Amino acid sequence: MGKVAVGAAVVCAAAVCAATALVVRHRMQSSGKWARTVAILKELEGTCGTPIGKLKQIADAMTVEMYAGLASEGGSKLKMIISFVDNLPTGDEKGLFYALDLGGTNFRVLRVLLGGKEGRVVKQESKEVSIPHDLMIGTSQELFDFIATELAEFVATEGEGLHVSSGKQRELGFTFSFPVKQTSITSGNLIKWTKGFSIEDAVEKDVVGELTKAMERMGLDMRVSALVNDTIGTLAGGRYHNQDVIAAVILGTGTNAAYVERANAIPKWQGLLPKSGEMVINMEWGNFRSSHLPLTEYDQALDVESKNPGEQIFEKVISGMYLGEIVRRVLYRMAEEAAFFGDTVPPKLNIPYILRTPDMSAMHHDTSSDLKVVGNKLKDILEITNTSLKMRKVIVEVCDIVATRGARLSAAGIVGILKKLGRDTVRDGETQKSVIALDGGLYEHYKKFSGCMESTLKELLGEDVAENIIVEHSNDGSGIGASLLAASHSQYLEV
């Protein structure tokens, strides 16, 4: 063999060796990166863990905070707000009642014809109105005049059989989903605006007074007979259909709970005890926190960067506003530390709240063999293409860990309420049912979340107790619920 041929053979061999070394190194790097991905996943699973012992500690902590919040103002992270709702619907209510639901950039007006025990909700009609942006940052009078005008126009469309009895005022339930300091069933002062509203001259004013003045200016003879929030409306709607309802929980974009308390078990209550002996408490449970909550570095970073750091910690780990964002933060860390999506971090993955909880839910519920929905969501939302089945499975696993933690913590919160009411045990010969009314998009549409929450409830309570605890979907508390509360607090009720 000539020198040239030998030289060429050596060069070729060297090239093959170099290429082989490159492949081996690439495989080693890939396996190293994959190992890092798996390590991040395992760490997430560990820090999000909700063993039954921990959940029982969280339920106990919720009960303790409830007692503290009822004892004194500011005594607990739970506000335990006295709602002044002391008459929940019984099903006997009759007549025509209105509701106004103001909780965001749209508001709804409803009218509901109630027919008593036999007729129930005979008829309901509603109209949704978008609030122009300039009115969200204008004056109190401008906003409430706009609402009263729309309300008057809606009243003018009352059809046959949809009229109040002669000589009677129309009555309205007002769902106002902004922070208020309630002073009676028909009055409450605005603490602050949220959700893009900024009307300075309305802060600290009585929102019922502002609406009433606007209705008077429009010549509309209508009385607000109940000022409520959506959670209390859900409780009322649930109780109307089932007298065993004792509490309501909202699991949607945000989260809250309300329940029926014995009036003599509220030490901070100053007035005369209501005739019914009961009082609905608005817990504002999103603000619950405990050292037992399984918080991760992702939760801590999300909290620090939020508009309300240190507040609403429970809400930030269980509600629809935040679940998708927690998943995004985990994927971002995988992309940065384990090159999960390739050598560069996909730019869209760096945008907070780009991954919404409905998208997370769609990926979590993907049953296709190649997890096609996961692939499409990554492509459409994050502009990430060419993901392998192995990668998609990791993403579903992340969704599962985050949703499972939220669902199990929600169940622990409900058990905390049941403990406070003494409904977490079975007494001899007692078969009283305890019904929890649930509403909210997260509960209604994220089936793996709601299913996990309900199975955890059974696990925490034990079979004997769980037989008497029922979770029921109670729809449209902010609308129908408000009109029912207008009826149960009507000025025309026979005393």
- Show the DSSP H helices in 319-462 as ranges: 323-338, 357-364, 372-382, 389-420, 441-445, 447-461
Query: Is 117 considered catalytic here?
Result: no
Residue 134 a catalytic site member: no
Judge contact between 229 and 178, C-beta under 8 A: no
Q: Could you tell me which residues come within 8 angstroms of residue 300 by beta carbon, excluding any fewer than 6 positions away?
A: none
Cβ-proximal residues to 233 (8 Å cutoff; 6+ apart), any chain:
173, 175, 477, 478, 479, 480, 481, 482, 484, 485
Q: Enter the tokens of residue 197.
A: 């509203």
Select which of 145, 230, 303, 476 is catalytic.
Answer: 230
Taking the mean position of all CA atoms in its chain, how far away is CA 6? Answer: 75
**Crossing angle (nearest 10°) for helices 323-338 and 3-47:** 150
Q: Which among 241, 246, 267 is positioned nearest to 422, based on CA atoms?
A: 246
What do you get for the CA distance between the two ends of the chain, in Å?
117
Set 117, 195, 379, 393: catalytic member: 195
Q: Helices (H) and strands (E) in the chain — how many of each?
A: 17, 13
Task: Please check whether residue 437 is in contact with residue 247, taking contact to mean a CB–CB distance below 8 angstroms.
Answer: yes
Residue type, 276: S
As annotated, the active-site residues are 195, 230
